[in-house]
């Protein structure tokens, strides 16, 4: 009589064969008959397929199962390492939660199919039994944590997100309690948690998908594959399906496919979130560009307003265009607040595109005035000024003929030279702590341009009121003009600029004047030049 005993309550090394399953070595000769009695005593449910194998058949079957398990756990390990590296690189907790989830799933299967007892803790009998329930409870925590992260329930399903947060805490308490509860109670509690968490996860996925979160499709598909594997395993346990490698490891296969689908879904979700952030960033950049020109940032060596620091400044050659509406103060006093802004926006929407057409940068709007910069040839700035003048004529025709308003007049000054671009304002970080700046005080920065080039352009604009011209340019601008533009210009006078040794000669550009006025100025240009030369030499009678 041969008596053999195996079980989870005995050390692993007491088994006949060091194998994850209960395998008894029966010394029965070929062709002989023997009686074998098997007594099973367990506190929980147990799947007990009984087969008698020859050594060769058992070895062949075991090699196949070992290969399946190696593929499964190898794939899980690779996915874990890959996603850990993604977490380290991207600093996105979603990848870490995913690693926690697939590790916990692999741990459950390792405990259930005996791999953990064989390779991880062969001498820890007590822990091996407790691991049956604890591994499932840990997986329950990981399932909910990953569900909240993957489905982004904080935004897509706030109510469920709050519930799941407390449900994770409950699962954690249950996991700790399982150490002290009787084995059967802990196992039943773990089984109940599996059912509840599966229902919560699937229902959350359905609701989130219905609300338009397309990534939930991957989540639900992954759960469907896992559930299909579980159904096949259940049908095998109830005898509706045969015991073979496919049905035995159907849940591992479903788990592997689930891991793969969730990985695809996680990548899709991350890309979707990245695209949303990029879109939001573009919208912010476009919004900022309405106040700070992108070209201005580029000159400061930045591509984003957040890269611009307090006091950043550069020097560059520009042509400055300064244009202003004459007598605007008097006009504005006769209009309501709404009419003032309606008029200004109506005027600016016609003028600003013309400046951009010639690669101009709107530095700022100063009430009714426009300060624009041209980094290219001064010719571009002059052509823009001419177009502004022509558009004003068309705008006045519209105002007078259709609205019954009075026409408006503008003056424009242009000068070329070096100027400084930079940031000015108030930055608490740049101020000594000893000043005790109140917390309520906020940083206030602005971009601006500084230099004589700006001052001269503004001065020339102001002189249009004195000399009656509409577009005045400095000699530095005139010298850069093409011949076709120089034809419709005439020298006006000289101005003294503070800090300059020589006066600055300036000219009128009348190419944009009404046709009749422009033709008259061209026709009388020779007489004008002669009269001006006589005036300069003191021959005032001849000049008249």
Do 262 and 335 belong together in one domain? no
In a domain, residue 307? The reply is: yes
The pLDDT score that the predictor gives to residue 41 is: 81
In a domain, residue 33? The reply is: no
Structure-token match 């009984």, residue found: 50
Do 445 and 305 belong together in one domain? yes
The pLDDT score that the predictor gives to residue 282 is: 77
Are 213 and 259 contacting, i.e. CB atoms less than 8 angstroms apart?
no
Are 240 and 261 contacting, i.e. CB atoms less than 8 angstroms apart?
no
In a domain, residue 541? The reply is: yes
- With CA atoms as reference, report the closest residue to 392 among 368, 405, 408: 408
The pLDDT score that the predictor gives to residue 269 is: 78
Do 215 and 191 belong together in one domain? yes
**Main-chain dihedrals φ then ψ at residue 370, nearest 5 degrees:** -120, 130
- With CA atoms as reference, report the closest residue to 298 among 379, 361, 205, 223: 361
| Structural domain total, the chain | 3
Q: Name 60's Cβ contacts closer than 8 Å, sequence gap at least 6.
A: none
Apex 122 CA angle, 117 and 125, nearest 5: 85
Give the dihedral sign, CA 518/522/524/528. positive
Do 142 and 71 belong together in one domain? yes
The pLDDT score that the predictor gives to residue 133 is: 87
Do 274 and 387 belong together in one domain? no
Do 537 and 492 belong together in one domain? no
In a domain, residue 14? The reply is: no
Task: Please list, residue by residue across 113-146, b when 16 or more beta carbons sit within 10 angstroms of its beta carbon and e when fewer do.
Answer: bbbbbbeeeeeebeebbbbbbbbbbbbbbbbbbb
The pLDDT score that the predictor gives to residue 434 is: 47
Do 356 and 484 belong together in one domain? yes
Structure-token match 């611009």, residue found: 308
Give the dihedral sign, CA 134/136/137/141. positive
Q: Which of 252, 281, 310 is the last residue of a domain?
A: 281
- The CATH number linked to 82 is 1.20.1070.10
Do 486 and 459 belong together in one domain? yes
Maximum separation of any 2 CA atoms in the chain, in Å: 148
In a domain, residue 28? The reply is: no
Do 484 and 530 belong together in one domain? no
In a domain, residue 165? The reply is: yes
- Residue 365: give the domain boundaries: 295-510
Q: Name 249's Cβ contacts closer than 8 Å, sequence gap at least 6.
A: 65, 68, 69, 72
Do 363 and 312 belong together in one domain? yes
The pLDDT score that the predictor gives to residue 184 is: 84
In a domain, residue 4? The reply is: no
Do 93 and 188 belong together in one domain? yes
Below-70 pLDDT ranges, the chain: 1, 44-47, 237-238, 285, 287-291, 303-308, 310-311, 427-444, 498-501, 543-544
In a domain, residue 290? The reply is: no
Do 78 and 171 belong together in one domain? yes
- The CATH number linked to 342 is 3.30.70.1230
CA–CA dist 80, 227 (Å, integer) = 22
């Amino acid at each position: 009589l041969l008596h053999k005993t195996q079980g989870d309550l005995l050390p692993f090394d007491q088994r006949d064969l060091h194998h994850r399953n209960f395998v008894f070595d029966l010394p029965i000769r070929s062709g002989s008959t023997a009686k074998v009695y098997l007594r099973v005593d367990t506190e929980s449910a147990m799947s007990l397929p009984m087969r008698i194998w020859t050594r060769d058949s058992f070895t062949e079957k075991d090699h196949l199962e070992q290969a399946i398990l190696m593929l499964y756990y190898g794939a899980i390990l690779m996915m874990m390492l890959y996603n850990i590296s993604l977490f380290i690189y991207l600093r996105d907790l979603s990848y870490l939660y995913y690693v926690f989830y697939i590790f916990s799933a692999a741990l459950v299967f390792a405990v259930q199919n005996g791999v953990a007892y064989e390779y991880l803790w062969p001498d820890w009998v007590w822990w091996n039994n407790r691991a049956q329930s604890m591994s499932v409870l840990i997986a329950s925590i990981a399932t909910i944590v990953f569900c909240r992260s993957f489905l982004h329930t904080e935004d897509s399903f706030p109510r469920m997100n709050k519930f799941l947060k407390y449900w994770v805490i409950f699962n954690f308490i249950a996991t700790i309690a399982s150490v002290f509860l009787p084995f059967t109670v802990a196992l039943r509690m773990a089984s109940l948690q599996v059912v509840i968490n599966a229902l919560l996860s699937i229902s959350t996925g359905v609701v989130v998908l219905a609300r338009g979160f397309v990534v939930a499709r991957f989540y639900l598909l992954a759960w469907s594959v896992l559930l299909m594997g579980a159904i096949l395993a259940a049908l095998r346990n109830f005898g509706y399906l045969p015991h073979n490698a496919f049905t035995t490891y159907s849940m591992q296969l479903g788990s592997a496919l689930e891991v793969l689908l969730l990985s695809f879904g996680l990548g899709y979700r991350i890309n979707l979130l990245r695209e949303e952030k990029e879109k939001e960033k573009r919208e912010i950049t476009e919004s900022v560009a309405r106040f700070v020109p992108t070209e201005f940032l580029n000159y400061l060596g930045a591509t984003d307003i957040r890269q611009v620091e307090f006091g950043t400044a550069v020097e560059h050659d520009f042509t400055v265009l300064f244009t202003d509406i004459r007598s605007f103060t008097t006009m504005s006093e006769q209009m309501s607040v709404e009419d003032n802004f309606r008029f200004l926006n109506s005027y600016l929407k016609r003028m600003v595109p013309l400046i951009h057409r010639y690669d101009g940068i709107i530095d700022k709007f100063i009430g009714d005035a426009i300060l624009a910069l041209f980094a290219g040839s001064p010719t571009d700035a002059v052509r823009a000024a001419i177009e502004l003048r022509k558009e004003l004529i068309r705008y006045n025709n519209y105002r007078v003929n259709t609205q019954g308003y009075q026409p408006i007049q503008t003056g424009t000054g242009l000068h070329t030279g070096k100027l400084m671009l930079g940031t000015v304002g108030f930055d608490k970080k740049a101020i000594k702590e000893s000043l005790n700046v109140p917390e309520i005080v906020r940083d206030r920065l602005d971009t601006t341009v500084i230099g004589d080039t700006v001052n001269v352009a503004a001065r020339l604009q102001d002189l249009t009121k004195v000399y009656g011209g509409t577009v005045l340019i400095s000699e530095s601008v005139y010298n850069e003009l093409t011949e076709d533009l120089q034809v419709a210009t005439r020298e006006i006078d000289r101005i003294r600029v503070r800090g300059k040794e020589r006066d600055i000669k300036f000219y009128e550009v009348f190419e944009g004047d009404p046709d009749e006025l422009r033709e008259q100025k061209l026709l009388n240009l020779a007489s004008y030049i002669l009269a001006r030369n006589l005036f300069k030499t003191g021959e005032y009678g001849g000049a008249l």
